[in-house]
Amino acid sequence: MSTKQKLLALFVVDIVIVWFSIGTSYLFKYNGTLPQAVQMQFMLYSAVSMIVCGAAMVYYRLYHRMWQYASISEIIAILKAVSIGWVFSYLITALLFREFVPVGIAVRTLETMLLLSGGIRFFYRLVRNGRAKRAEQKAQSSVLIIGAGDCGALIAKELQNPAFGEWKLVGFIDDDPLKQRMQVYGLPVLGDRNMIQSAVKEHGIAEIIIAMPSAPKKAISELINLSLASGIKVKMIPALNDLITGRVSVKAIRDVSVEDLLGRDPVITDLEGIANYVQNKTVLVTGAGGSIGSELCRQIGTFHPDRLLLLGHGENSIYTIEMELRNKFPWLDLETVIADIQDRERMDEVFRTHRPQVVFHAAAHKHVPLMERNPAEAVKNNGFGTKNVADCADKYGSERFVMISSDKAVNPTSIMGATKRIAEMYVQSLGASSRTKFVAVRFGNVLGSRGSVIPYFKQQIARGGPVTVTHPEMVRYFMTIPEAVQLVIQAGSFAKGGEIFVLDMGKPVQILKLAEDLIRLSGFEPYAEIPIEFSGMREGEKLFEELLTDEEAITSTTHERIYIGKPSNINRAELELEYKRLEKVVSEPPDNVRMAITSIVPLYEEQIERPIVKATSTIQIEREAVVS
């Protein structure tokens, strides 16, 4: 049967309901018989009612609704259509017949029409939903919702529709004592978070949906860990406002990510302070095709710079970010520059031509083991490359120079860390005398960057394992890329010249636990389904990273997650001499390069071992001291 035929059949049923309602009301009034005196009135009232009520139902679009999803709005539409049709039918009949229909008959007619018109539609919904549930019952997955508030109720209501028949909602978990043993849409609140594992076992839960979008990130992280401990899939609900306004449906429920496990609240930025030094300026980003550099470009674009220069050595990565930015910011004046920061003359040409007012220096070699095997390249890129860009910024009068540094520059045990420390020292030495405000921003690892441990673990999990961890006690600081970049741009607004800004990375993460969490997030059980093996520490690595040297003091800024580490003064002339020595040995054997680095960075010692206890939070101790 076609859609038009179905709608016509429903219209006919409604007309029959109107006639039936009036007929039974008259028969009930006159004890089962229809006196001759009222037959004409009955016929006129029936004819008028069928025409007027039918027109009212068409006007209120009762035949343009999907009744398998009928709810309160459909009830209101039926009530309006039937009531208004009934009122006008009653008045028109009285006008034509010059006599009112008995009130008892009219009231009983209204009651019967409402009951049958609404009842037949909701009966259709029950039958339709019942068929869909029986058809898909075998394929259903039992689901538990954490959060019996507005968002949880909204999700539960939508999951009961046939469109989500593959999910069988069992109940809720909520910490609110007032909700315990209550029901939401007929489904019980089974208990608080301590009942998660028992509920999973008792009801055979296959998936958990965390429906608490307004809860603090730390609380969400705790719930994720409790849920993952049950060995089942865990999903998240998008922002509640998006669900309520209809911009997002339940189909947008997403898998839990590693970022959710960090449990940190979003970064709050001073948009006005950032706009003051970026807006309407020519901004240069080196390493613009990399993970950090490309995210810098995305976020800087929102502040309407006068021109954005994308500088990188790899043409493919620069092309990719250029196309993305042109699509996202069609009004933005973009300029792509393919260049190597080691080429001093090329850097001079770039600065002479474009005169950037703000420079974000993100270009660097960052892979620790690779740089251990190629120390000269680390020196050329991280040491000489940074010097070239910084010298040009000073020469051509850039207003600010923000260098992206690393926690590996603190007490470095690797070539990469030592060369980043040399770059920090040079930037600081320029900041002492230049009109340009030179600063460095130091932070730890970022999730999802190139060379990050996360993509590597995911590849190993996809192959069925094993997942290789270097050491069971190794810990690292982690941030998301957008989070780190937001703080970097914010730190640039605090620049006065010569500072090293240190980002609050939160608590360090144990790499072994990170691997276990990733395996669980992928739907497997660590050790049982995906083995974990320890491969041993690689060259240049250490068990933990620090964010401050022992000599550096820390002061707070107006941003709660950005601090300033101020080391002792650096002699510019001596540092220049050390750079000249580096130039002479850079083409010599690797051991000579390492010796030259050691003379600049005395703290550089290969494979230094420190107690793991110190990793609990170097910055947290300093932070508490500042607060107190």
Instruction: List all residues 6 or more positions away from 260 whose beta carbon is below 8 Å from its beta carbon.
Output: 217, 220, 221, 224, 236
Residue 337, pLDDT score: 95
Flag whether pLDDT at 620 surpasses 60. no
Higher pLDDT, 238 or 276: 276
Structure tokens at 491: 């730190």
DSSP-derived letter for residue 100 is P
Q: What is the 3-state secondary structure (H, E, C) of 554-569?
A: EEECCCCCEEEEECCC
Per the prediction, the chain carries an average pLDDT of 80
Residue 109, pLDDT score: 85
Q: Mind listing the pLDDT tens digit for each residue in 50-81?
A: 888 888 888 877 776 655 555 667 778 788 88
* Bridge partners, residue 501, by sequence: 441, 564
- Asked if residue 288 lies in contact with residue 294, where contact means CB atoms within 8 angstroms, the answer is yes
Q: Mind listing the pLDDT tens digit for each residue in 572-616?
A: 888 889 899 888 888 888 888 888 888 888 777 543 444 333 333
Residue 382, pLDDT score: 94
Q: How confident is the model at residue 176 (pLDDT cuts 50, 70, 90)?
A: confident
- The per-type count for the chain, helices as H runs and strands as E runs, is 23, 22
Average pLDDT on 238-242 reads 55
Distances in whole angstroms, Cα of residue 554 to Cα of each of 3, 324, 418, 427, 627? 72, 38, 21, 19, 11
Q: Which of 407, 487, 484, 481 minimizes the C-alpha distance to 444?
A: 407
All domains of the chain in start order, with CATH: 3-134 (no CATH), 140-256 (3.40.50.720), 272-627 (3.40.50.720)
Residue 23, pLDDT score: 85
How many other C-beta atoms lie within 10 A of the C-beta of residue 356? Answer: 28
Give buried/exposed letters for 475-498 (b at 16+ CB in 10 A, else e).
Answer: bbbbbbbbbbbbbbbbbbbbbebb
Q: Mind listing the pLDDT tens digit for each residue in 483-521?
A: 888 888 988 888 888 888 888 766 777 888 888 888 887
Higher pLDDT, 2 or 191: 191
For 174-256, list the strands marked E by DSSP: 183-184, 187-191, 207-210, 233-236, 254-255
Instruction: Tell me whether residue 408 is one of the annotated catalytic residues.
Output: yes
SS3 264: coil
- Asked if residue 397 lies in contact with residue 356, where contact means CB atoms within 8 angstroms, the answer is no
Structure tokens at 198: 């028992």
Residue 623, pLDDT score: 40
Cα angle 13, 14, 15 (rounded to 5 degrees) comes to: 90
Q: How confident is the model at residue 536 (pLDDT cuts 50, 70, 90)?
A: confident
Average pLDDT on 121-139 reads 60
How many other C-beta atoms lie within 10 A of the C-beta of residue 338? Answer: 14
Q: Mind listing the pLDDT tens digit for each residue in 262-313?
A: 666 656 666 677 778 899 999 999 999 998 999 999 999 999 999 999 999 9
Q: How confident is the model at residue 326 (pLDDT cuts 50, 70, 90)?
A: very high
Flag whether pLDDT at 419 surpasses 70. yes
Flag whether pLDDT at 256 surpasses 80. no
| Cis before 466 (ω within 30) | yes
Question: Which residue blocks in 290-435 are alpha helix, DSSP H?
Answer: 291-301, 315-328, 344-354, 368-373, 375-378, 386-395, 415-431
Residue of 179, 281, 408, 437 marked active site: 408
Higher pLDDT, 259 or 454: 454
Q: What is the Cα 425 distance to its own chain's centre? A: 36
Stated pTM of the model: 0.65
Q: Mind listing the pLDDT tens digit for each residue in 339-365?
A: 999 999 999 999 999 999 999 999 999
Average pLDDT on 179-194 reads 85
Higher pLDDT, 131 or 550: 131
Q: How far apart are CA 16 and CA 326, in angstroms?
A: 62
Distances in whole angstroms, Cα of residue 537 to Cα of each of 100, 101, 373, 607, 609? 96, 94, 15, 9, 11
Helix (H) or strand (E) holding 574: helix 572-585
Residue 616, pLDDT score: 37
Average pLDDT on 394-404 reads 94
Q: Mind listing the pLDDT tens digit for each residue in 6-24?
A: 778 778 888 888 888 888 8
